[in-house]
Chain A
Amino acid sequence: MSTSVKPSGTAAARGRRRGRPDRKAWAFLGPFLALYLFAMVVPVFYAIYQSMLKVERSGPMGLGEPSVGFAGFENYSLALQQETFVDGFGRVLLFGLVQVPVMLLLALVLALLLDQVSHRWAGLLRATYFLPYGIPGVIATILWGFLYVPGVSPVTDVLGDLGFQPDFLGYDNVLWSIANIVVWQFAGYNMLIIVAQLKSVPQELYEAARVDGAGPWQTALHIKIPLVRPALVLTTVFSIIGTMQLFAEPLVLKKVAPAVTTDYTPNLSAYFDAFANANLYLAAAKSVILAVVAMALSFGFLSLVTRKQRSER
């Protein structure tokens, strides 16, 4: 779920962290490490282990006593041969290419605007934008579902009266209807991360800019945006991972949108294999593939960004 990304520490911070951690440090780290080991590391290796097993059947109709055998990479090749599973990756990539930039742009604009308004309103507005994040994804999807379903939704009713025939849950549109839910939910959250970074910008910089005659536009473009870059990198990585793991929204919308298939996203595909088809081993292989792709994309993005940073210096 969560991949920790270290924001690049300042030189001063690095300097202080000399010497080996002592016993007290371990006592503080202990609970975290124990949980991390138990809830993250062990399951990951168990999944890798399971992904290399298979059921061997015998007897009439295959209903004889089954046994578990070593499959090597059979499950992986089986998963990669499933056209619909591979298509799922294409779908989430397309989703990410559109949804992540839209969401982050929105988050950035909201953050910059919030930075402009007076203190009295900033708190209230910040809370309002952040509110959707407090609503669990499943609930949010059910709510949006009601706005999408024709015959129930006031939105389709009004648009219908105006002569439009929107089909939010149609085969070609449902992906963007899901994107809309995700944007609604996470734009405020990402905005908050950017706002936090903006708050840490020293006031002297703004004063200097003002003295140099920069207006709000120029301050935003040349001072604020470059300075919130680390926050943007962080939120992009989180968003890429979140996109790859797209699950709750399509699962819930599936009830009302037949266009959402059982293999709509890689995560959904693994879920159905594990729990509906009782094929844990294939599901484990799919999960490992998903993790590898998500990792490759996140680290790929990070190295792309840092290379650019390095070349700038």
Chain B
Amino acid sequence: MPTRRKVLAWGAAAAAAPALAGCGEKVGAARTTTATRRRPGQKVTLTFWTWVPLQKAVALWNKQNPDVRVDVQTVPANTSGGYQKMHSSLTAGDPPDLAQVEYYALPEFMLVNGLTNLSEYGADELKGAYVDWQWQQGVFAGKTYAIPQASGPMGLFYRQDLFDKWDVEVPATWDEYRAAAVKIKKRGSLITAFPPANAQWFAALPWQRGARWVTTEGDTWVVDLTSPESLEVADFWDGMISDGLVSPIQDSQSAFFKGLQTGGLATWPGAQWYDALIRGNAPRTEGRWRVAELPQWERGAHASSNWGGSATAILQGSRHPVEALEFAHWLNTDPAAIDLLIAAGYGWPAARIELAGSALGKPDPFFGGQRYNEVFQLSDRNVDTSWRFAPTTTQSYAHVQDAFGRVLAGHGTLADALKDAEGKFVDDLKAKGLEARSAR
């Protein structure tokens, strides 16, 4: 046993240590990106952390570029482990060269100085090859920090066979959607799921209505989860939940996929990249699915929104930023690479492409021969691109999810949950040392 005196000495040492604070402690990334000089012919290996199955495209690159080998390492998707790993590696000063980072998470990585300023390496010249709003997701204070890969314009996936059988019209408005839900429920099925722990999905709904959860005003972040638009959407789903018209299960989980397989869930308002998930998890429903525009709040409108989307980032600390940038640009714009990524179900390309000429423009037997991506193209064009993400999105959206979880358990309403989460959202921003306030 240590003597009492020793313990006291340790305590004193521990108490004195913070006085030396600052020495050795660095915020965020421990290592800064620098380009190491390469002798001609010298081989370079780039490490790439991602959860998107893009091995085939990378294999093509490796075949064409034997000198710059890209080594893909699969990490858990986003907050289920991938970002945790990236943040740790940044803090430890041993990050991969390239990483998959979703648009909403880019500001968080900026806040820990986790992204390489690509403008220094000529990225600004590449801008023209990409859809502008997707490119802007990686631009902070006029500098480019990420190369966009794909987005997720929203649409309504629905089961044509069940709609025919039950005499349900494809809903054009949310009112019709509710009416369809009532009809479908009478047939012993449900129109869709309301995933309680997916704030990214939910956010797409007020986004479509015209809400802006986050805006900036000078140096202040303004949080507005409770605008009339947001509350209207919340009320709509509150009604769907309390009337038992939706299933309170989490999306992309076994029970959800079972619903898609059996027809227990007849529609799904989802992003374009959900096509691959439905195809992969309910293969026997081939030919029965179709895609329509999201139901509208005003008849005849074409309001749309986006769910998901990610960029290829070059993390702070890379030793080969030039090669990494070259690869990132190739991966996201080369037609052969895009076709391989589309086959892997990576989402809606960030590169400007001709739909007709790409794999996305073909009639698809899974969707009964529908050129379903034409719907998403329209949706993509109508996405309101003024939506912003705060640098605490992961944490703050988690508050929304936590509060929604309580609602689905029968405690309160979604509208209350949003009010509750708004205060916590502001606190998150303040806790990071940022200026923030609530909009109302």
Chain A: residues with CB nearer than 8 A to chain B?
45, 48-50, 52-57, 60-63, 66-72, 78, 84, 146, 149-152, 170-172, 254-256, 258-263, 272, 275-280, 282
Contact = CB atoms under 8 A, between A and B. Distances in A.
A150 B21 CA distance: 51
Contact of A276 (B17, B18, B84): B84
Interface of B: 10, 13-14, 17-19, 21-22, 25-28, 79-80, 83-84, 87-88, 91, 108, 110-113, 140-141, 195-197, 216, 219, 221, 249-250, 253-255, 258-259, 264, 392, 394-395, 398, 401-402, 404-406, 408-411, 428, 431-435
Among B27, B108, B141, B435, chain A packs the most CB atoms within 10 A around the CB of B27
A151 B255 contact: yes
26 contacts: A45-B10, A53-B25, A55-B433, A61-B221, A63-B141, A66-B28, A66-B433, A69-B22, A70-B19, A72-B18, A149-B255, A151-B254, A151-B259, A152-B254, A171-B408, A171-B409, A256-B253, A258-B196, A258-B404, A275-B84, A276-B79, A276-B394, A277-B392, A277-B395, A278-B28, A279-B432
Given A45-B10, A68-B26, A278-B108, 19 more contacts: A53-B21, A55-B432, A55-B433, A57-B432, A62-B432, A67-B27, A69-B21, A69-B22, A70-B19, A171-B405, A171-B406, A171-B410, A254-B197, A258-B195, A258-B196, A258-B197, A258-B408, A262-B395, A263-B402
Contacts of A262: 395, 398, 402
Contacts of B409: 170-172, 259
Among A61, A150, A280, chain B packs the most CB atoms within 10 A around the CB of A61
B435 A62 contact: yes
Contacts of A149: 253-255
A72 B402 CA distance: 30
B425 to A, nearest CB: 13
Contacts of B18: 49, 52-53, 70-72
A57 B10 contact: no
B21 A57 contact: no
Given A57-B434, A62-B434, A276-B394, A255 B253 contact: yes
A63 B253 contact: no
Contacts of B83: 275-276
A146 B197 CA distance: 18
B349 to A, nearest CB: 28
A152 B254 CA distance: 7
A55 B394 contact: no
B78 to A, nearest CB: 9
A254 B197 CA distance: 9
B80 A261 contact: no
B17 A61 contact: no
B111 A150 contact: no
Contacts of B108: 278
Contacts of B113: 66
B27 A55 contact: yes
Nearest to A66: B27
B250 A256 contact: yes
Contacts of A69: 21-22
Contacts of B254: 146, 149, 151-152, 256
Contact of B433 (A56, A146, A152): A56
Contacts of A263: 402
Nearest to A84: B402
Contact of B87 (A61, A70, A150, A275): A275
Contacts of B431: 78, 279, 282
Among A48, A70, A256, A276, chain B packs the most CB atoms within 10 A around the CB of A276
A258 B141 contact: no
A262 B397 CA distance: 11
Contacts of B141: 60-61, 63
Contacts of B406: 171, 259
Given A61-B219, A258-B197, A280-B91, A151 B432 contact: no
Nearest to A62: B434
Contacts of B410: 171
A280 B29 CA distance: 13
A258 B250 contact: yes
Contact of B258 (A63, A151, A170, A280): A151
A61 B84 contact: no
A49 B19 CA distance: 10
3 closest A-B pairs (Cβ-Cβ)? A171-B409, A275-B84, A57-B433
B80 A255 contact: yes
A261 B398 CA distance: 8
A99 B201 CA distance: 36
A70 B18 CA distance: 6
Among B17, B83, B406, chain A packs the most CB atoms within 10 A around the CB of B17
A122 B18 CA distance: 56
A160 B258 CA distance: 17
Contact of A278 (B87, B255, B259): B87
B287 to A, nearest CB: 24
A170 B17 CA distance: 46
Contacts of A151: 249, 254-255, 258-259, 264
A278 B26 contact: no
Contacts of A172: 409
A254 B112 CA distance: 27
Contacts of B140: 63
Contacts of A78: 431
Nearest to B26: A68
A258 B405 contact: yes
Nearest to A52: B18
Contacts of A255: 80, 250, 253
A219 B17 CA distance: 58
B111 A63 contact: yes
B14 A49 contact: yes
Contact of B434 (A61, A70, A256, A272): A61
Contacts of A67: 22, 27
Among A62, A152, A272, chain B packs the most CB atoms within 10 A around the CB of A62
Contacts of B428: 277
Contacts of B432: 55, 57, 62, 279
Contacts of B398: 261-262, 272, 276
